[in-house]
Amino acid sequence: MKAANAIQVKNLTKTFGEFTAVNNISFHVGKGEVFGFLGANGAGKTTAMKMLIGILKPTSGKAQVANYDITSHANDVKKNIGYMSQRFSLYNDLTIKENITFFGGIYGLKKATIKTKTQALINDLGLHDEANKLVGSLPLGWKQKVAFSVSLLHDPQIIFLDEPTGGVDPITRRQFWEMIYREAHKGKTIFVTTHYMDEAEYCDRVSIMVEGKIEALDSPKNLKTQYKVDSMNQVFLKLARNIE
Contacts to ligand ATP by CB under 6 A: 16, 19, 21, 39, 41-47, 86
Distance CA 20, CA 17 (A): 8
| Max CA separation in the chain (angstroms) | 57
The DSSP bridge partners found for residue 10 are 62
| 243 sits near other proteins (criterion: CB under 8 A) | yes
Distance CA 24, CA 199 (A): 26
Per-residue CA distances from 120 to 48, 82, 112, 126, 139 (Å): 33, 18, 13, 10, 21
Distance CA 165, CA 93 (A): 22
| 163 sits near other proteins (criterion: CB under 8 A) | yes
Q: How many CB atoms lie within 10 A of CB 74?
A: 17
123 versus 137: smaller Cβ distance to other proteins: 137
2 versus 129: smaller Cβ distance to other proteins: 129
| 76 sits near other proteins (criterion: CB under 8 A) | no
| 174 sits near other proteins (criterion: CB under 8 A) | yes
Among 5, 46, 144, 151, binds Mg ion (CB under 5 A): 46
Among 20, 67, 157, 233, binds other proteins (CB under 8 A): 233
6 versus 48: smaller Cβ distance to ligand ATP: 48
Distance CA 186, CA 8 (A): 21
Among 169, 186, 187, 219, binds other proteins (CB under 8 A): 169
Query: In the complex, which residues of this chain contact other proteins (CB under 8 A)?
Result: 16, 39-43, 46, 86-87, 138-141, 163, 166-172, 174, 177-178, 181, 185, 195, 197-198, 201-202, 220, 231-233, 236-237, 240-241, 243
